[in-house]
Amino acid sequence: MDAADYQLHGKVAVIVFNNPPVNGLSFALRQAIVHYLQQANADANVQAIILTGSERAFSGGADVREFGTPLAFQEPILRSVIAAVEESPKPVIAAVDGVCLGGGFELALGAHFRVARATARVGLPEVNLGIIPGAGGTQRLPRAIGVERALDFLLSGQMVQAQTLADTSLFAEVVSDDLLPAAIDFAHKVIEEQPKIQRLSEVVLAPEQTLPLLQQRLQQVKQEFPHLPAQAQCVRAVQKGVEQGFDEGLKAERAYFLELLESAQSVALRYVFGAERAAARTPGVERDTAVWPITQVGLLGTGPAAGRLAQDFAAAGLTVHWVPNRSADLSVFSSCSLLVEASTGTNNERLQAFEAMRAARAQGQAGATLYLTSAAIPLDTLSAKIATEDAVLGLVPGPELFDGPLWEIRRVEHSHPEALATVLGLARKAGKKPVVGFDSQHTLGQLVFQSLVQAAQELVRLGVPALQIDNSLLQFGFKRGPLAAAKQLGLGLQAIGPDAFKADPALKDQDIIKACMAAMANQGAKLLEQNAAVRASDLDMACVLGFGLGRFIGGPMHYAQEQGLADMVACLKHYGAQGTPGAEVWKVAALIQKCAEQGGQWEK
């Protein structure tokens, strides 16, 4: 029972969760909770029971380390644990501090009373993973805070502080002092006053007051989230509980949960959840790698990247000294330990801008300097011009057109680990999502996006209307059609004749989608072959975070693997045989061919 501790405070038993870092509801912790509940109920001296976690977390929900293992579904599963809590003959109080999310919040809802620190954060984020709460969240929360407020909570997936819910019956007390002493005092009050145990499953909701609202919200979410079935199923689960009572609502919730768990959208969203975090980890950078102390940044340039980076660095808490061009006074750069070149012009002009920045910095106080460039200049060329204690990395924000949180970081094999750790840390502070690639003339996202545009152009040459191509990908879940986006970004498009806009489609929409996604995955395979990308999932994150692919798609590499790499290879060969002779976009990469033949999984 190491996953929890059992303490006695007079007549109060306290079960303290002990599964760092966020008390994930592992099999061991679930087992310990049930065991200690039984022990407390069997002890005649115990008259109230407290469940609590740590100051950091009551519980962050399911233990991700058990995802995909038999332990995730081994009894006692979470629903059984919550049933044991709710059915306890002695009052059970959940003392909530830190984060209380997903299954952790569902567990707290199963208690008879809840006491929370004002700053504790609660939430049911399951819709962000394409599923709905599966252990009673859609049934108990509406009975605690009302249907309308619960729907806002369930459909947003956002966390809120406990103090914002102090006006509801969710919490018996919201305290600002130390939580556990307050919870023990509340438990003694319950023992003395013996109020009726409050089981949320016994609360009856009035259908005549809530069903019209539920019907309205159902239609709303179907229109607002056409690619995300979890939102509609969430409303339906609440509706079932209102119409037919708690037990039927619980059955419906479980059925919807299991159905959604296998959906393509949920599989993709759960993949993105892990891939996004993996992208922030880069070879050579450890958790304890030191970061450089940076308070001031010098930014040179007037292009779109300069404007976005100025905002990003300000959001990270840095003082930004923004100078438009190298002919201006650069003396302010002498005090900056971070210098960013984001100018426009030819590579030679940008190289001169870099030299001007470096010369201005040389006039200041000694110390290591971190240089960042958004130019398509080999980093080794720039590294040769700086002192050995300095470092150069590439940094390009995602295109403003797609309004994503992407920071693409370019590095080389010998890039300074502390410099990388510093930029990754700044990304977190700025609310940006980093993807690290090895030095090339373009970023990973740009190269994969360009392959999409090239594939679209090749389809136009085969007689597919340009408008159909853009519309099919928009309906599939792209934020912008590739041909319209390429035009807005100023990419050089081949001349498209009037036949491209004819009304008769030459392909079905699903064939267009498949061809374009295959081309993107093929380009991703080429980048993996060149060791420009660390992982296949990093390529997906560049596309999802910066180039407008819906998270529920998962990215081209994920899509290709789910559809079947052999199918993707066949698709590429099909269009290669029909398209422009020598068109690079359809030339099958050796890696995708190899992976298709050896099990259908990406090697990286």
Neighbouring residues of 589: CB distance < 8 A, sequence distance ≥ 6: 522, 523, 525, 526, 529
Output DSSP code: residue 196: P
Residue in 477, 480, 296, 318 with CA at minimum distance from that of residue 398 = 480
Cα 74 to the center of its chain, rounded Å: 28
One of 86, 126, 253, 341 is an active-site residue; which one? 126
Choice among 3, 13, 48, 62 that is catalytic: 62
Residue type, 431: G
Closest CA to 468 of 499, 498, 512: 512
Would you call 413 a catalytic residue per the annotation? no
In terms of residues, how long is the chain? 604
d(CA 502, CA 514): 21
CB of 187 within 8 A of CB of 263? Answer: no
- From the candidates 4, 32, 95, 106, which is the catalytic residue? 106
C-alpha–C-alpha distance, residues 113 and 92, integer Å: 7
Helical ranges in 462-535 per DSSP H: 466-476, 482-488, 509-529
| Cα separations in angstroms, 40 against 85, 187, 428, 580 | 11, 14, 44, 75
Known catalytic membership, residue 126: yes
Supply the angle between the helices 147-156 and 229-244 in degrees, to the nearest 10.
160
Cα(580)–Cα(557) distance, rounded to whole angstroms? 25
- From the list 103, 136, 249, 548, the catalytic residue is 103
Please work out, in degrees rounded to the nearest 5, the angle formed at the alpha carbon of residue 220 by the alpha carbons of 216 and 226: 145
Backbone angles phi, psi at 174, to 5 degrees: -120, 120
Report the first-to-last Cα separation within the chain, whole angstroms.
Answer: 38
The angle subtended at Cα 389 by Cα 386 and Cα 395, nearest 5°, is 65
Rounded to whole angstroms, the Cα distance separating 557 from 543 reads 10
The DSSP H or E segment spanning 41 is: helix 27-42
Residue 464's contacts (CB-CB under 8 Å, 6 or more residues apart) are: 500, 505, 506, 507, 512
Active-site amino acid positions: 62, 103, 106, 126
